[in-house]
Chains A and B, each alone.
Chain A
Amino acid sequence: MTDSSTVRSAAVDFKPYVNVARKIGGGVLMLLLTFIGLTAITFIIGRIMPNDPVVAIVGDRASKEVYEAMYLQLGLDKPIWQQYLIFLNNILHGDFGNSVMTTRPVIEDIKRFFPATLELATIATIVGIIIGIPAGVLAAVRQGKLIDHIVRVIGLLGHSIPVFWLGMVALLIFYAKLDWVAGPGRIDFFYDGIVDPITGVILIDSAIEGHWDVFWNAVSHIILPASMLAIYSLAYIARMTRSFMLDQLNQEYVLTARVKGLNEGAVIWHHAFRNVLVQLITIIGLTYASLLEGSVLTETVFAWPGIGQYITNSLFNADMNAVIGGTLVVGLSFVFINMLSDILYRIVDPRAK
């Protein structure tokens, strides 16, 4: 909490802005610390992996000389902390090494796979916001009524369904039986490679280039996996909205608003919801971040060429550079989104200044 007396002293006071700057600075520091922690953990995981990084590169039939040379080149003879610094330095230069599986630099793979995950998570989050927030508000306003029970049960269901299983069942029904949507994958083979990757997000690229047939094919592919993730996000957002809203509706300022003679719409949306919105920013950020990582299972079921599938496939092929690179990128975007929502929160909530 800020010291209210300093803020009270003058209307045009630059102190609040200094405070915001300092808090954002604190956020950046936190990000740095988390970054170091993330890299340290992934580094340790990479080092204690049961497979030999040298063999992973030169193959197990290489001569002893080749092996030794690569051993030295990787700096494995140096003390562990030096190895970590080399690792850190490489990462900062965007060098995650080469992937054994795809034989290309890991950073190139990530550039190719990450937009697909981003596409899924973004759509799911947007759907979650559009449906989840009104549902949560409605449930809170009608607490204990039928609509409240429905929203609560849907909210709890969304948190209880194994998404990978639901994805399978949805594929069975909507693709195999009804043939309403396209099957696994991001785009039909027939349309693959028509659109030049500008952003890497097929929906955007095809729209920019006017390839509407590609666009609609991509839409047909993304509907099911995006819905699976959207169930999770809308359940979580609706549940949190409901609980925040109930909390706010019991606050005394809501009584004040009613005493003023405002109608229920104004009391709910103009007064209570304003306060809920401030809290929801953090929740939406969290949802988005967890969808980025939580899409691993959905991507597996729908053969969606995203970062989650990339990491799991690499894991099974003992492709450590790819696992470390992918994990780090997901972890960093996770931290970055949370930091962004934190900054946004400080800007929107007058009390945080």
Chain B
Amino acid sequence: MNEMRMTGFSSDPSAQEPLISVRDLHVRFTTPKGPVHAVRGVSFDLGRERLGIVGESGSGKSQTGRALLRLTAGNGSIDASKMEFDGLDLMKASEKKMRSIRGSRISMIMQDPKYSLNPVLTVGAQIAESCRRHEDISKADAKKRALAMLDTVRIREPEKVYNLYPHQVSGGMGQRIMIAMMLITNPQVMIADEPTSALDVTVQMQVLALLDDMVRERGMGLVLISHDLQLVSSFCDRVLVMYGGRIMETLDAKNLDQAQHPYTKGLLNCLPRLNGRHDDLPVLKRDPAWLTEGGDAEGGLA
């Protein structure tokens, strides 16, 4: 594993075996209003790269991320013809096996640290807990590791922050704490679900830059889930565009302007531009046919 990390970051996923490989993923929920089909046959591969998933709310992007950890809420079910991580079949893995993967080899960062950190435990204890769960180390060592990790995510005075409770830290610091908590075990894949949406605009870029550095240094695979096409395209190598639980199109981030799918084009048209101006604010057109056709579901293989 270390050796792989030494090779560092590669932008060419085809050069190696994919870390995660998903084929025909479905996520369904039962609700009082009837069944909801949140993810409908999604397929993609993730290498040691930064993959963006973009879509509106309800497009199934968050549920795709959660399904990778098999942490779909209690009334939901996951179904896929293939969902592999590093040669391991995630669909068949026991719950115990999944627990040993979660937090140790695949981690996830949530949207708002105000809700995703436990309000009655100190942030230090929550970070240390992560590494004590997966490594056989003493309490004192875990604390040292947590302090070092706080330093790594550029928090000044880690000793002081260690003993604070989540409500005592700002949103930006909370998200760094979250990153520290999820990176302390050196995972191979990180899923970041709207990691900056709840933050002030001024700290959004800092947190993204931090995430970027961490991912590059450690040669991890990153799945960045966001509704913000601009942000994702500037930050990721590849972008999946999702709508209605399906992948509409897969693009290289640098070739965003060559988008083929009308939905992606529509999204791009909504972006404000400095040069030139729209006569009308364009309304995003949605074609019901996108939901039934194959679309570009095999996007990851492009």
Query: Is A–B contact present in the complex under a CB 8 A cutoff?
Result: yes
Contact B134 A252 (CB under 8 A): no
Q: Of B118, B133, B170, which contacts A261 at CB under 8 A?
A: B133
Write the chain B residue with the least CB distance to A8. Answer: B168
Q: A252-B110, A260-B107, A261-B133 are in contact. List 16 more A-B contacts (CB 8 A).
A: A4-B167, A7-B168, A11-B163, A252-B112, A253-B117, A256-B116, A258-B71, A259-B102, A259-B182, A260-B130, A262-B99, A262-B103, A271-B118, A274-B118, A350-B165, A350-B167
Question: Is B181 an interface residue, CB under 8 A from the partner?
Answer: yes
Contact B165 A351 (CB under 8 A): yes
Contact A259 B170 (CB under 8 A): no
Interface string of B41-66 (1 = CB under 8 A from A): 00000000000000000000000000
Contacts of B115 in A (CB 8 A): 251-253
> Which 5 residue pairs are nearest across A and B when measured between Cβ atoms?
A261-B103, A261-B102, A260-B103, A252-B115, A350-B165
Contacts of B178 in A (CB 8 A): 256
Contacts of B101 in A (CB 8 A): 261
Q: Of B69, B74, B100, B119, which contacts A253 at CB under 8 A?
A: B119
Question: Is A188 an interface residue, CB under 8 A from the partner?
Answer: no
| Interchain CA distance A275-B121 in the complex, whole Å | 9
Interface string of A265-287 (1 = CB under 8 A from B): 01000010011001000000000
Contact A256 B117 (CB under 8 A): yes
Question: Is A257 an interface residue, CB under 8 A from the partner?
Answer: yes
Contacts of A275 in B (CB 8 A): 118-120
Q: Give 24 A-B contacts (CB < 8 Å), ordered by A residue.
A: A8-B164, A8-B169, A11-B157, A143-B74, A251-B115, A252-B111, A256-B118, A259-B71, A259-B108, A259-B110, A259-B182, A260-B102, A260-B182, A261-B99, A261-B102, A261-B104, A262-B99, A262-B129, A262-B133, A274-B118, A275-B119, A349-B120, A350-B119, A350-B120
Question: Is B160 an interface residue, CB under 8 A from the partner?
Answer: yes
How many residues does chain A have at the interface if contact means C-beta atoms less than 8 Å apart? 25
Question: Is A263 an interface residue, CB under 8 A from the partner?
Answer: yes
What's the minimum C-beta distance from B272 to chain A, rounded to whole angstroms? Answer: 31
Contacts of B100 in A (CB 8 A): 261
Contacts of B104 in A (CB 8 A): 261
Contacts of A349 in B (CB 8 A): 120
Question: Is A255 an interface residue, CB under 8 A from the partner?
Answer: yes
| Interchain CA distance A350-B125 in the complex, whole Å | 14
Contacts of A257 in B (CB 8 A): 118
User: Taking beta carbons and an 8 Å cutoff, which residues of B are in contact with A?
Assistant: 69, 71, 74, 99-104, 107-108, 110-112, 115-121, 129-130, 133-134, 157, 160, 163-165, 167-170, 178, 181-182
| Interchain CA distance A233-B71 in the complex, whole Å | 36
Write the chain B residue with the least CB distance to A351. Answer: B167
Interface string of A191-209 (1 = CB under 8 A from B): 0000000000000000000
Contacts of B118 in A (CB 8 A): 253, 256-257, 271, 274-275
Contact B110 A260 (CB under 8 A): no
Interface residues of A in 142-159 (CB under 8 A from B): 143
Q: Of B117, B121, B168, which contacts A4 at CB under 8 A?
A: B168
| Interchain CA distance A226-B226 in the complex, whole Å | 58
What's the minimum C-beta distance from B24 to chain A, rounded to whole angstroms? Answer: 24
Contacts of B130 in A (CB 8 A): 260
Contact B133 A278 (CB under 8 A): no
Given A271-B118, A275-B120: A259 and B103 within 8 A (CB)? Answer: yes
What's the minimum C-beta distance from B149 to chain A, rounded to whole angstroms? Answer: 14
Contact B169 A274 (CB under 8 A): no
What's the minimum C-beta distance from A259 to chain B, rounded to whole angstroms? Answer: 5
| Interchain CA distance A7-B108 in the complex, whole Å | 29
Interface residues of A in 125-148 (CB under 8 A from B): 143
Contacts of B133 in A (CB 8 A): 260-262, 266
| Interchain CA distance A261-B111 in the complex, whole Å | 19
| Interchain CA distance A275-B167 in the complex, whole Å | 14
Given A8-B168, A274-B121, A350-B165: A260 and B129 within 8 A (CB)? Answer: yes
| Interchain CA distance A287-B100 in the complex, whole Å | 42
Contact B167 A259 (CB under 8 A): no
